């Protein structure tokens, strides 16, 4: 794996900013802020180039809704970035709130943003999974992921920082 791009998953628009589903956007925004990066807009995506140590990394936020996250894949391909070279940051129902993990490959496990990316790029990309917990009733999942975090700003900020630290570690410790 040679990380050249980090795709943060989320939904565009201010009303979604603090939604559980937007943790991917929050993480790439944090990375951009820490590196003093400037976001640029294209048709269906926002992107920002940053340096992590001596590696140039492209941060990407699809500006379509979650179900169409793969809209960024052709643009990345034109830049020579293959699925094996990108890392996707997303919310994960199967992890308790605040837990962050790294995984390569696998299925979408019901996540529509991952399903979109897998349909376009295949399953062989790595992910940073940010735990948001799960509601008790399956019927509440759609409403739950589109609801704002209730765990408090410090707890959400800790998860964002933990994910960003893991990303930096992966970028620095993997070969160019």
CB contact at 8 A, 87 and 49:
no
The angle, 0 to 180 degrees and rounded to 10, between the axes of the packed helices 23-34 and 153-173 is 70
* Cβ burial, residue 108 (10 Å; 0-12/13-18/19+): middle
| Residues taking part in catalysis | 21
14-32 burial, b at 16+ Cβ within 10 Å, e below that, comes to eebeebbbbbbbbbbbbbb
Cα distance from N-terminal residue to C-terminal residue, the chain: 9
The number of helices, as runs of H, and strands, as runs of E, in the chain is 5, 7
Q: How many CA atoms lie within 13 A of 9 on its CB side?
A: 28
């Amino acid at each position: 794996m040679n990380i050249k791009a980090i795709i943060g998953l989320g939904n565009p628009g201010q009303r979604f900013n603090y939604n559980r589903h937007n943790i991917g956007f929050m993480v790439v925004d944090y990375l951009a802020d820490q590196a003093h990066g400037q976001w640029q807009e294209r048709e269906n995506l926002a992107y920002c180039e940053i340096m992590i140590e001596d590696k140039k990394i492209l941060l990407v936020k699809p500006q379509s809704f979650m179900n169409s996250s793969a809209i960024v894949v052709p643009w990345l391909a034109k830049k020579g970035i293959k699925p094996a070279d990108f890392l996707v940051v997303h919310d994960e129902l199967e992890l308790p709130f605040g837990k962050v993990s790294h995984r390569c490959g696998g299925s979408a496990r019901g996540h529509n943003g991952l399903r979109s990316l897998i349909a376009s790029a295949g399953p062989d990309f790595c992910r940073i999974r940010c735990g948001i917990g799960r509601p008790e009733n399956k019927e509440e999942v759609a409403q739950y992921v589109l609801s704002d975090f209730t765990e408090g700003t410090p707890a959400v900020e800790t998860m964002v920082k933990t994910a960003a630290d893991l990303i930096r570690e992966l970028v620095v410790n993997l070969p160019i």
